[in-house]
Structure 1
Amino acid sequence: MNMLRTVFVLFLAFFGATQAWAGKDPSEVVHSATNELISELNKMTPEERTDDEVRRLVMTYIVPAIYQERIAKGALGKYWRLAKPEQRQSFIDRFRELQIRTYSGAFKAFSGEELSFEDARLNDKGNKALVKGKLVQTNGNVIPIDFRLFQSKKDQQWRVYDAVVSGLSMVKTYREQMSERLQGTNPGNADERMNALLNELKAEADAVSAKQTS
């Protein structure tokens, strides 16, 4: 499986289990969540990993725990402030849907990878954490992967808002992609350009879904 797809599976896997580990130390959250999800994936046969089953798991266990606004805001970067409130929410929804549909197939290919993590490193305020780890693939390759977490004031729950793979930030990668697509956007044309992007994201998500069900 492609490295980034592998890590995205773990990224989603973590999201899916965070609610069950609220209140724990961030390193405990990562350990518990990834170990549990990897165990569940390894129990499933290839026949059980259907598109419908994977999507059901994603929608039930993953979507409610994603720090959606923080990831979406990071992906849009400087263009976030040019978007209207309703456009921001639409971007959150459509960007999330595209990612879920694009990468949910990676669950099917997950098999045999192992993860290990160090203790969490907290910032001075104690509301952000870095958990450094490594992913050992079945061929012996070792990939450094770090999870960045944020603790919500509302529910004191730790959530991942970025994963850094071999020094490459997933949110930064998304931001570069969105920046390229929105290049030339300014206050005068922001409304039109943002609506066009939203339509593109919906079309891309629909295309991925159609391909998976064909």
Structure 2
Amino acid sequence: MTERRPLLAAGAALLLARARPAAAQPVDTARAASFIQATGRELVAAINGGGGVTQRRDQVAAILRRAVDVEGVGRFILGRYWRVATPEEQAQYMRLFEETLIRNLSARFGEYQGVRFSLGRSQQRTEDDALVNTIVERPNLAPFSLDWRVGEVGGQPRVVDVIAEGTSLRLTTRSEYSAVISRNGGRVAALLDAMRNQVAQLAAREGR
């Protein structure tokens, strides 16, 4: 019996290894940088192109929706409360989160023509995402730094976080959302109400 134990242990280890998902493949930093550069060019072309402010905003929003892993970021931010939420609350949350995220990111690039976007340093951050630095310049405003965390989602590079001047968008938002839910007895519905108010305020500020 003692001689069979190593064989049994080896067999069990092999079965467990097969049952586990394959480890995430490292993101190619050159591929991540190329993706952000292409996205940046699209954003600049939309902002600096013809058409009114509303049209340019809509074009920027469409580009960001393609570039950002909205569902993955949204679920990360809601964290453990995702499992607490009902299916209806999950659907409402994702709709409100997408609108809030896209409006906030769009606002960072401004409404005025003359925006410039340059690529900085790229580096491997973890085994499954890379960090790509960019500098955004807007007329009559100081340039600012945006770091884009890029991961592979469904075999395609997607933005999984944006770091502005050293502050992570998804970590900051996760903390804010968690605080709202905690203050309201763990109810996700309270967060949804707060998000609706935020969307209404953003829309009013944009004149919509």
TM-score, structure 1 normalization: 0.67
One-letter amino acid of the structure 2 residue matched with residue 33 of structure 1: T
One-letter amino acid of the structure 1 residue matched with residue 170 of structure 2: V
Query: Which residue does 2:4 correspond to in 1?
Result: none
Q: Which has the higher contact order (CA 8 A, sep 6+)?
A: 1
Q: What secondary structure, in the 3-state scheme, does the structure 1 residue paired with 2:149 have?
A: strand
Query: Which residue does 1:67 correspond to in 2?
Result: 69
- Tell me whether 1:38 sits opposite 2:39 in the alignment: no
- Tell me whether 1:25 sits opposite 2:24 in the alignment: no
Which structure 2 segments of 5+ residues have no match? 1-29
Query: Which residue does 1:164 correspond to in 2?
Result: 163
Q: What secondary structure, in the 3-state scheme, does the structure 2 residue paired with 1:116 have?
A: strand
4+ residue runs over 6 A deviation: none
What RMSD, in angstroms, separates the aligned Cα atoms of the two structures?
3.0
Q: Deviations over 1:121-147 (max 9, x none)?
A: 2644xx422223444566695544321
Instruction: Quickly say closer, same or farther: Cα 1:144–1:212, change in 2 above 3 A.
Output: closer
- 1: CA distance between counterparts of 2:168 and 2:52? 28
Checking the alignment, whether the CA contact within 8 Å between 2:46 and 2:60 is kept in structure 1 is no
Checking the alignment, whether the CA contact within 8 Å between 1:75 and 1:174 is kept in structure 2 is yes
Residue 207 of structure 1: CA displacement?
Answer: 4.1
- 2: CA distance between counterparts of 1:135 and 1:59? 17
Larger Rg: 2
TM-score, structure 2 normalization: 0.68
Q: How many percent identity over aligned positions?
A: 22
- 2: CA distance between counterparts of 1:140 and 1:55? 19
Checking the alignment, whether the CA contact within 8 Å between 1:149 and 1:161 is kept in structure 2 is yes
Q: What secondary structure, in the 3-state scheme, does the structure 2 residue paired with 1:150 have?
A: strand
Which structure 1 segments of 5+ residues have no match? 1-23
Query: Which residue does 1:150 correspond to in 2?
Result: 151
